[in-house]
Chains A and B, each alone.
Chain A
């Protein structure tokens, strides 16, 4: 399902926006400017106690350190958000392994700009679900992903 949604997303990015492939109506365009900053999701899911503990640590880390020590992560989602997603989608053990693997990617700087798809915020797009055992997928690099 996720692969399909990514595929649909790529289609919408690739397709020429002006061509008339189906009937269209009035568009409600606005004058506003879109924000490129992303918010934090501080919610904790108490159903799984191990994940809840891990998430509380991450929340504390976000609040006390990550939000204050500048913009250090070139990826979207950031390394800590990647860890949260990885634990949510698999389990604490696999999630931790995925996180250390991501950390290795974070540390390998050479030629990185050309190896990842781009998120619309200008960061490199590298979400957890692309590395989960069941849903590992390939997205060609240098494509712009327009997605939260």
Chain B
């Protein structure tokens, strides 16, 4: 009887005197942190854990955590290391490509062997063409990997990449030299184009009017200022076309990113926390 009583007391004591910093407990704690989206602390705890035990899930979760805290370079390196025997091998390969995309490391895409690649990987490799300066593949091979619901959108992206709707700096400058402000209207700066037309018209009129009334000095001053407005507008129109093109690029990339995020980079969602 006394023995049983002692045993109970000892076991109670034992359960209380657990070591919170043992690898097993670190993993439990890290799982909790991971699921409450505190990825940085989860990664630190998991890294302590795998010093003692090998665990494929934990390796994958570390890499995933790095990707969540936007350290894509580290994430890519770790995803690459996950070996073939792991349950997460194919998932890690897709995540590796996603991390490369987000780290804007497009160089690495050229060295990937496409023979063993899964559909998701092929899709992500194609996406890399849209972001980088690499030579675009043929339209049909590009579209082949995408499903019917994605094809429409991807075709739009492909065609915009092939022929971006840029405006020509030269044409903008030329238009503005013929009609002041026309180049700005051509690059969608309508309000500025009209203002430029009005300003140039105003100074031309003032100059003409003063010459007519024999105020030669004033005439020359207005003519001079007007000439600067005229030349400045030609320069501004040429730069404006350049800025317009950068805006096209910017919005294009934002759209592709939005598309990728809504499709979770073509990667099947996986629930670690239930």
A residues whose Cβ falls under 8 Å from a Cβ of B? 20-23, 94, 96-101, 103-105, 107-112, 130-131, 133, 136-138, 140
Contacts and interface: CB of A to CB of B under 8 A. Distances in A.
B41 to A, nearest CB: 8
A143 to B, nearest CB: 12
B233 A100 contact: yes
A99 B71 CA distance: 42
B247 A100 contact: no
B199 interface: yes
Contacts of A22: 40, 69
B32 interface: no
Of B69, B196, B250, which is in contact with the most chain A CB atoms at under 10 Å from its CB? B196
B164 to A, nearest CB: 14
B233 A101 contact: yes
B152 interface: no
B251 to A, nearest CB: 8
A110 B69 contact: no
A101 B194 contact: no
B243 A130 contact: yes
B255 interface: no
A98 B235 contact: yes
A3 B242 CA distance: 14
Nearest to A100: B232
Contacts of B70: 21
A137 B246 CA distance: 7
Interface in B173-220: 191-192, 194-196, 199
Interface of B: 38, 40-41, 69-71, 191-192, 194-196, 199, 228-229, 231-233, 235-236, 239, 242-244, 246-247, 250
Q: Which 7 A-B pairs have the closest CB atoms?
A: A100-B232, A101-B236, A108-B195, A138-B246, A97-B235, A138-B247, A101-B232
A89 to B, nearest CB: 13
Given A20-B38, A100-B231, A112-B191, 13 more contacts: A20-B41, A21-B71, A23-B40, A94-B235, A100-B236, A101-B233, A101-B236, A104-B229, A104-B233, A130-B243, A131-B236, A131-B239, A138-B246
Contact of B250 (A21, A99, A140): A140
A14 to B, nearest CB: 12
Contact of B243 (A21, A99, A138): A138
Contacts of B194: 108
A109 B38 CA distance: 47
Given A21-B40, A137-B243, A138-B247, A104 B235 contact: no
Contacts of B40: 20-23
A67 B13 CA distance: 78
Nearest to B254: A140
Contacts of B38: 20
A78 B267 CA distance: 49
A93 to B, nearest CB: 9
Given A21-B70, A108-B195, A111-B191, A136 B243 contact: yes
B229 A103 contact: yes
Given A20-B40, A22-B40, A94-B235, A104 B228 contact: no
A103 B69 CA distance: 44
A112 B190 CA distance: 11
B228 A100 contact: yes
A136 B242 CA distance: 7
